[in-house]
Structure 1
Amino acid sequence: MKHFPIFLAMEGQKLVLSGGGDAALAKLRLLMKTEARIEVFTADPAPVIVTWAGEDRLNLTARALQPGDVAGAVLFYAADEDAREDARTSAIARAEGALVNIVDNLADSQFITPAIVDRDPVTVAIGTEGAAPVLARAIKRDLEERLPVTLGALTRIGKRFRRAAEALPFGRKRRDFWADYYFTTGPRALAEDGPQGAEEALNTLLDTHLNAAPRAGHVALVGAGPGDPELLTLKARRALDEADVIIHDRLIAPEILELARREATLIDVGKEGFGPSTDQTRIAALMTRHARTGAQIVRLKSGDPAIYGRLDEELTALDAAGVGWSIIPGLTAASAAAASIGQSLTQRGRNSSLRILTGHDTKGFAEQDWAALARPGTAAAIYMAKRGARFLQGRLLMHGASPQTPVTIVENASRADQTVLQSCLATLAADLDRAEMSGPAILLYGLAPRAALAEIPQVPEAAHGP
């Protein structure tokens, strides 16, 4: 991030602009929305600038900027549309202590002006660090359509009521009150009875929330999907936004944790196969302890919580503690991995069933129905299979599986650093050793990348028999 976004206090501040043409007009239309004292210096002002000066919306000095003119200003805009004059005036401004913006000159500017969605006092600033103004305008247009024009009126009413709302305890209870007002009660009252009705509704709403029983703690067991934040369900995103506490697995992508509220408490309870792990009893204790304070908790699990996520153990602990819970499914890694290689997990004429297996369990390498897996056409998604690849390979070959059976390993499925390794049963272990994969990986047994299907030799079914 080369430009750090801030909202600068402008009330009563001096702001200076040099220029009187189209570039100056574009900046002034935006700057006049602030409560700053605007000083404009130009020998050739556009007629509308003269009009604005006559309306006391800005102060106009009909000459070129000179030393001393910028003293005491917080911001300066060089908008003369002449490189030499912009360089001269910006040098004066820097010497006199103002931050400088030179229109259409990102390299020599100390700050940039974002695209703005104005729902005063709600302001949304959109910046692309000067790289893509067209994109910033497109985002602005989208937000303009989404944010109702009444949002500013509701916010101004709410701002006057903030001191009264401090009667509610800080934290969840106060947030629930404001969420109720801004998203439900306020818009309805404003539409039905206007600003006065929206203001009166606040007093009634405050009484309701002051007298409401404390909200019970709750745990949402949420599937975070395979890693790509765009694969999160809408329900999962809402849960993250509302959570007071997020208890998350090691494999959760940082981009997904970024979606949590800044005030939320994040607790890493990561487990690593054959490595350091957080004890399951500690995880249960964390959930119940926070729930008893009335917190809204997200237990965030990679993929889908019902697939190798120890869901039943955690639900049993929550039931025993009398804590309410809900489950929000997520996209499992098998689906993301299959999509990444252009394959379906089931196919008419190939496999009418899909096996979801684990490469190892709490007792070590997991035993399976090897004879069934070795049959031609079988497809399986095998989780946690990297360390047990040689064990899987040996068992399947021992039970008659074809050495040429395709196997695809997808590491970091759906993420930017995803890796796909095409192999076959005969060379699986050796290929994995060479690949030195360190991220979470899923093994797709019986499936090859679509682009490679034409290269895979077709072995007669008789050759596959035990």
Structure 2
Amino acid sequence: MRHFPVFVDLSNKRVVVSGAGECAVAKLRLLLRTEADIHVFGADPVDVVRDWADAGKITLTSRALQNDNITESVLFYAANDDAAEDARVAAIGRGVSQLTNIVDNLDDSQFITPAIVDRDPVTVAIGTEGAAPVLARKIKQQVEESLPANLGILARIGQAFRPAADALPMGRKRRDFWSRFYFNAGPRALDRGGKIAVQETLNHLLDDALNTRAASGRVHLMGAGPGDPELLTLKARNLLHEADVVIHDQLVSAPILELARREAIVVETGKRGFGKSWKQDDINALMIKHAAQGHHVVRLKSGDPVIFGRLDEEMDALSNAGIPFDIIPGITSASAAAASIGQSLTKRGRNSTFRILTGHDVDGFADHDWRALAKSGSTAAIYMGKRASRFLAGRLLMHGADSAIPITIVENASRADQHILSTSLGALPDLMDQVALDGPAIILLGLAPRAALDAIDTLEEQEFA
């Protein structure tokens, strides 16, 4: 993010615009919707600028801007439609540490003006870093269509009612009150009886909220998928947005965590193999603590919580504590890894079974039915297998597996930093010794990248010979 979005208070604040021609008109139309004290400088004002000045909406000086005209202003626009003149006046602005915008000159501007959807006091600002104005306009249109024209009226009435609503405790109960007002009862009341009906509705809603017990806490044991936020299920996305507390594993990607509410408590409870980790009992206790306080808790796990997620231990702990919970499945990393190499996990005539394995468990390296896995045509996805790769290869070869069986390792499946390695069973241990894989990795036994999948950046085993 190059430009950080902020909302500047312009009430009775001085804003200077250098330029009084058509180039300045578009910015002035936007500024006139604020409460700013607008000063315009330009030697040849167009008619609409003169009309605004005659109506007292702006202060117009019919000459070029000079050094002493920019002091004590909050924002400064160079809108002369003349590169040399814009550069001259922008230098004046920067000389007095003035935030300066040069119209249609992104690189030399210190701030930009976004596309705006105005439902005063609700304002939506849309920016594309100057990369795609047409995209900003399209988004603006879509947002305008989704926000009712009377939203500003409701927001102003709600704003005046906030001191009364502060009688509700912070958190979920207060959020539920405002959600009922803005998204249900408020719009209906406004359509039915105008502002008076809205005020009556607010009073009724508050009485109900004050006399209703707060909802009990609940835990959602939820899968975050392999990492791409677009692979998050719609249900998971909605619950994440509503959560009071998010307790997540270390493997959950940052873009997914960004979807949580800013006010939510977010706690990482990393469980790193062969390193410092949270104890499962401490994670259980944290979930129970927050749910007992009436919080909506999301226990967020990478992939699908029902696959190697220690789900039973958490369900047992919640059940014993009397805490209600739900399980929200996610897309498991094996599916994402197979998709990334253009392969299916099952194929008629190749394999009638597919195994999901773990490289190690609580007792160390995990044992499996090696003889069945070693058969020709077998396919499997091996989780947590990076450190166990030499053990896994050794057991399979010992039980008759062909050393040429294809192996694909997919690190950070579905994410922007996804990395794919293609090798064979015999070469797997040496390859894993030579590469540094910091992210979560899935080892696909019996699957090679589809040859026609041009997008794959595959490192062949001979590179590591």
Higher mean alpha-carbon deviation, 58-67 vs 388-397, is at 58-67
**Which residue pairs with 1:239 in the alignment?**
239
Q: How many residues align?
A: 453
**Which residue pairs with 1:193 in the alignment?**
193
Percent identity over the alignment? 63
Aligned-residue offset at 1:76: 1.6
**Which residue pairs with 1:292 in the alignment?**
292
Residues in 1 aligned to 2:48 and 2:395: alpha-carbon distance in whole angstroms:
84
**Which residue pairs with 1:459 in the alignment?**
none
**Which residue pairs with 1:456 in the alignment?**
none
Do the aligned partners of residues 10 and 143 (structure 1) sit closer, same or farther apart at CA in structure 2, a change above 3 Å counting?
same
Give the conservation status (yes or no) of the 8 Å contact 1:226–1:333: yes
Give CA deviations for 1:370-414 in whole Å, capped at 9, x if unaligned: 222122222111111111112211222222222221111111111
**Which residue pairs with 2:249 in the alignment?**
249
**Which residue pairs with 1:273 in the alignment?**
273
Residues in 2 aligned to 1:409 and 1:94: alpha-carbon distance in whole angstroms:
53
Do the aligned partners of residues 440 and 58 (structure 1) sit closer, same or farther apart at CA in structure 2, a change above 3 Å counting?
same
Residues in 2 aligned to 1:180 and 1:301: alpha-carbon distance in whole angstroms:
31
Aligned-residue offset at 1:168: 0.7
**Which residue pairs with 2:460 in the alignment?**
none
Q: Residues 443-458 of structure 1: matches in 2 within 5 Å?
A: 443-451=443-451
Higher mean alpha-carbon deviation, 207-216 vs 43-52, is at 43-52
**Which residue pairs with 1:220 in the alignment?**
220
**Which residue pairs with 2:229 in the alignment?**
229
Higher mean alpha-carbon deviation, 336-345 vs 68-77, is at 68-77
Residues in 1 aligned to 2:96 and 2:450: alpha-carbon distance in whole angstroms:
65
Matching of residue 393 in structure 1 with residue 362 in structure 2: no
**Which residue pairs with 1:462 in the alignment?**
none
Residues in 1 aligned to 2:387 and 2:65: alpha-carbon distance in whole angstroms:
72
Give the conservation status (yes or no) of the 8 Å contact 2:21–2:42: no
AA at the equivalent of 1:172: R
Give CA deviations for 1:98-146 in whole Å, capped at 9, x if unaligned: 4222212233322211111211111111223333333333332332232
AA at the equivalent of 1:213: R
3-state secondary structure, aligned to 2:110: coil
Q: Residues 47-446 of structure 1: matches in 2 within 5 Å?
A: 47-95=47-95, 98-446=98-446
Do the aligned partners of residues 103 and 342 (structure 1) sit closer, same or farther apart at CA in structure 2, a change above 3 Å counting?
same
Q: Structure 1 runs of 4+ off > 6 angstroms?
A: none
AA at the equivalent of 1:435: V
Do the aligned partners of residues 97 and 452 (structure 1) sit closer, same or farther apart at CA in structure 2, a change above 3 Å counting?
closer
Do the aligned partners of residues 405 and 65 (structure 1) sit closer, same or farther apart at CA in structure 2, a change above 3 Å counting?
same
Give the conservation status (yes or no) of the 8 Å contact 1:71–1:97: no
AA at the equivalent of 2:184: T
3-state secondary structure, aligned to 1:43: coil
Structure 1, unaligned stretches of length 5 or more? 454-466
3-state secondary structure, aligned to 2:402: coil
The CA RMSD measured in Å over matched residues stands at 1.8
Give CA deviations for 1:64-88 in whole Å, capped at 9, x if unaligned: 3234333332112111111222233
Residues in 1 aligned to 2:186 and 2:77: alpha-carbon distance in whole angstroms:
39
3-state secondary structure, aligned to 2:240: helix
3-state secondary structure, aligned to 1:4: coil
Aligned-residue offset at 1:174: 1.2
Do the aligned partners of residues 197 and 302 (structure 1) sit closer, same or farther apart at CA in structure 2, a change above 3 Å counting?
same
**Which residue pairs with 2:458 in the alignment?**
none
Residues in 2 aligned to 1:413 and 1:21: alpha-carbon distance in whole angstroms:
54
Higher mean alpha-carbon deviation, 185-194 vs 324-333, is at 185-194
Aligned-residue offset at 1:97: 5.6
**Which residue pairs with 2:37 in the alignment?**
37
3-state secondary structure, aligned to 2:100: strand
Residues in 1 aligned to 2:191 and 2:233: alpha-carbon distance in whole angstroms:
31
3-state secondary structure, aligned to 1:421: strand
Aligned-residue offset at 1:96: 5.3
Residues in 1 aligned to 2:35 and 2:439: alpha-carbon distance in whole angstroms:
53
Residues in 1 aligned to 2:392 and 2:54: alpha-carbon distance in whole angstroms:
84
Give the conservation status (yes or no) of the 8 Å contact 1:77–1:101: yes
Residues in 2 aligned to 1:157 and 1:329: alpha-carbon distance in whole angstroms:
41
Do the aligned partners of residues 414 and 297 (structure 1) sit closer, same or farther apart at CA in structure 2, a change above 3 Å counting?
same
Aligned-residue offset at 1:43: 2.2
Higher mean alpha-carbon deviation, 439-448 vs 122-131, is at 122-131
Residues in 2 aligned to 1:327 and 1:249: alpha-carbon distance in whole angstroms:
16
AA at the equivalent of 2:255: E
Residues in 1 aligned to 2:431 and 2:103: alpha-carbon distance in whole angstroms:
56
Aligned-residue offset at 1:24: 0.7
Residues in 2 aligned to 1:150 and 1:378: alpha-carbon distance in whole angstroms:
62
Aligned-residue offset at 1:452: 7.6
**Which residue pairs with 1:11 in the alignment?**
11
Residues in 2 aligned to 1:347 and 1:269: alpha-carbon distance in whole angstroms:
38
Residues in 1 aligned to 2:107 and 2:431: alpha-carbon distance in whole angstroms:
49
**TM-score, normalised to structure 2's length?**
0.93
Give the conservation status (yes or no) of the 8 Å contact 1:68–1:96: no
Residues in 2 aligned to 1:90 and 1:407: alpha-carbon distance in whole angstroms:
60
3-state secondary structure, aligned to 1:104: coil
Aligned-residue offset at 1:55: 2.5
3-state secondary structure, aligned to 2:128: coil
Give CA deviations for 1:288-329 in whole Å, capped at 9, x if unaligned: 111111111111101000000011110000000000111111
Give the conservation status (yes or no) of the 8 Å contact 2:371–2:399: yes
AA at the equivalent of 1:248: H
